[in-house]
Amino acid sequence: MLLHDDFEVWYGFREATVPPPDHFEFEIHLGPDDCGEIAYRPDYPSDETPRWECRFHWPEERRSKLHALMVEHTVFDSRSITPPDEDTAGGALESMEVSSDGRSFNYPWRPPGPVPPDVADEVRSSVPAYIWSQLEEKQREYGQT
């Protein structure tokens, strides 16, 4: 499968149901060009919870690598996406939606696993390490307030 100009990825992660300040959530958006963005919440969503957003460069070689992993793990085959389990209360959750060649493929919110771990790792590592460090520091500061 060819890497198309409309290749775009949305990945979300919610930490398990744990007391503050240990809960966090983030969403990563990659593409359809060479831009990426992460939106991070250091707590359960509310009107008082900050939302930190960082944009970053997503180079062509990272796009190609992620696309190749998705081909290898049959992400572009809707038959490989299993329906969500009903018993997901309390644990960590992730979801992913991918668009390519005018088609969308959706992995609904569920415990980590259905999104191939290699793919999830590559999406997460697309966010530069210095941004993760900044977010972790902000998370620590938030937990001390």
Residues 87-116 pLDDT 10s = 556 789 999 999 998 888 988 888 887 889
Residue 2 maps to a domain: no
Residue 20 maps to a domain: yes
Looking up residue 66, the CATH number of its domain turns out to be 3.30.1560
Residue range 42-61: mean pLDDT, rounded: 94
Residues 3-43 pLDDT 10s = 778 999 999 999 988 877 788 999 999 999 999 999 999 99
Contact criterion met (CB below 8 Å) for 134 and 55:
no
> 55 pairs with which residues across the strands?
37
| Distance from the Cα of residue 61 to its chain's centroid | 19
**Domain tally, the chain:** 1
Residue 1 maps to a domain: no
* pLDDT at res. 4: 78
* pLDDT at res. 27: 98
Nearest to 1 by CA among 67, 59, 66: 67
Write the DSSP symbol of residue 85: P
- pTM for this structure? 0.91
Burial of residue 122, with CB atoms counted within 10 A of its CB: 0-12 exposed, 13-18 middle, 19 or more buried: buried
Q: Which domain holds residue 42?
A: 8-143
